[in-house]
A and B are shown apart, each in its own frame.
Chain A
């Protein structure tokens, strides 16, 4: 499941959708923010890889640890539980990096997208986003009671976020209500924050701020919940 959501699905989508839409921009600039489909989807699927870690993989693993008594066992042994949690997040971040790199590699091998205008901007947004989703995964993992609950809820949310947040149909073709809902998904700010420097639109500070906010809020929720255990 870990491999499927973080590594396989984003790669499959970037090949399929990149091939379907090609990389010729819409003459009217009505979809994909004026760039070609393949260029649009490449940063979007790097973002999706990070979202998979935060929405499905980390919550399932951490809830499973709590459910099976792993964290209790660690705590009773006088070992630092926070180190275990941070270790899980670090593994999640590494997974996001590998997933993102795989998307870039496969995209350039198969669908020929335009390269990033501001690579540093993309990397910074990607790192902030991956950390934000890592913390979101921590919060979900300590809130949801069981691994099954975390996996079920995570996959459901993952599909909604994927379809509405800009990694599925281009947001411009969604009905207004769906586009508005999509704008409130946690995936949307990461996709836009990565696409803007990629397309040469500069850094998107407000979307980056939202990502930092998601990370901070998740951290606070997780810390509060863990302090009550």
Chain B
């Protein structure tokens, strides 16, 4: 039997006047999964999660969150989810402990409020007014409020924006703990290291549409642009280009730059060792999530997104002009 996903979104649409913020967004979030939503500013991430939380009324599409429809069962939904919103505030004079008690009043009253505040570094701020907190403290309070009723599903919208590096690490640690408790988390973020570290799966949104979905390694493999090996030595480009998995061979100054899949790297190494070429200056660049992200949403997003051949990246336009010798892609 297939488990019902915690969240199921199909063809979500939402416009503000003439601005089409979300045009076509579909994804599933499995129970217990941490899903990251990535995308540039204004791509529709926040609108999407606000529709899921019933804070905005979607214009079209199907949404099911914990089996509920946020458009019609919003009160029931809100009791079961935790929300940390971007750009939210509390009354300036409300004290930290009062806020936590207020938000805990919706739950079953079993939450350990003191421990929650200590976890989020606010143990010494119980009696501080909201208005007197620093940006990072406010942010941590909002995360704590999202978790106060131990919800099964938590929405965190730019959770670590405004946190210092230490507090970010701590936030990551606490979110990892949530995963062990089986909590489902939807994390909207701008930080790729955060997404890579915390998320089981990622959805990349660009201009209101989903442009890629997958685990971080899947996205890197599909859109990261392959492995690049750079070295100097006496080699023949045509032979290198013929190696399995190699997609391009270029000359960069005196160095050879070979791009291709992981298999290409092994074949290249084998080939070089075979010929007695063992370059001391061999450098290998593994594609990162950042490479994949910028190829998906950056200025060269169009060729990357249009490229359907998995693992065979579109060549970077800027590099094509550098070296005089370009290899033809190898057909397996």
Contacts and interface: CB of A to CB of B under 8 A. Distances in A.
A76 B56 CA distance: 11
Nearest to B94: A70
Given A77-B145, A78-B75, A68 B103 contact: no
Given A75-B55, A77-B145, A78-B75, A69 B106 contact: no
Interface in B173-189: none
Contacts of A75: 55, 78
A148 interface: no
B102 A73 contact: no
A65 B92 CA distance: 10
Interface in B78-128: 78-79, 83, 85, 87-91, 102-103, 105-106
A156 interface: no
B53 interface: yes
A78 B155 CA distance: 14
B78 A69 contact: no
A73 B90 contact: yes
Contact of B55 (A70, A72, A79): A72
B156 to A, nearest CB: 12
Contact of A78 (B79, B85, B87, B88): B79
Contacts, number: 41
Interface in B132-157: 142, 145
24 contacts: A65-B91, A68-B89, A69-B87, A70-B88, A70-B89, A70-B90, A70-B91, A72-B55, A72-B85, A72-B88, A73-B89, A73-B90, A73-B142, A76-B85, A77-B78, A77-B83, A77-B102, A77-B103, A77-B106, A77-B145, A78-B78, A78-B106, A79-B105, A79-B106
Given A78-B106, A79-B103, A79-B106, A73 B79 contact: no
A134 B90 CA distance: 22
Interface in B39-88: 53, 55, 75, 78-79, 83, 85, 87-88
A79 B90 contact: no
B109 to A, nearest CB: 14
A168 B125 CA distance: 48
A89 to B, nearest CB: 15
Interface residues of B, number: 18
Nearest to A88: B91
Contacts of B55: 72, 75-76
B85 A79 contact: no
Interface in B145-171: 145
Contacts of A77: 78, 83, 102-103, 106, 145
Contacts of A72: 55, 85, 88
Contact of B53 (A65, A68, A69, A76): A76
- Looking at chain A's contact residues, is the secondary structure mostly helix, strand, loop, or mixed? helix
B229 to A, nearest CB: 49
A150 to B, nearest CB: 16
A64 to B, nearest CB: 9
A61 to B, nearest CB: 9
Given A70-B91, A76-B78, A77-B78, 10 more contacts: A65-B91, A68-B89, A72-B85, A73-B85, A73-B142, A75-B78, A76-B85, A76-B88, A77-B102, A77-B103
Interface string A70-92: 10110111110000000000000
A76 B175 CA distance: 20
B34 to A, nearest CB: 20
A48 to B, nearest CB: 27
Contacts of B85: 69, 72-73, 76
A70 B88 CA distance: 6
A64 B106 CA distance: 25
A70 B94 CA distance: 11
A78 B106 CA distance: 7
B24 to A, nearest CB: 25
A207 B298 CA distance: 65
Most chain-B CB neighbours within 10 Å: which of A69, A72, A75, A76?
A: A76
A69 B88 contact: yes
Contacts of A76: 53, 55, 78, 83, 85, 88
Most chain-B CB neighbours within 10 Å: which of A68, A69, A72, A77?
A: A77
A76 B55 CA distance: 7
B75 to A, nearest CB: 7
B88 to A, nearest CB: 4
A79 B91 CA distance: 14
In the A-B complex, the 5 residue pairs with the closest CB atoms: A78-B78, A69-B88, A68-B89, A73-B88, A76-B83
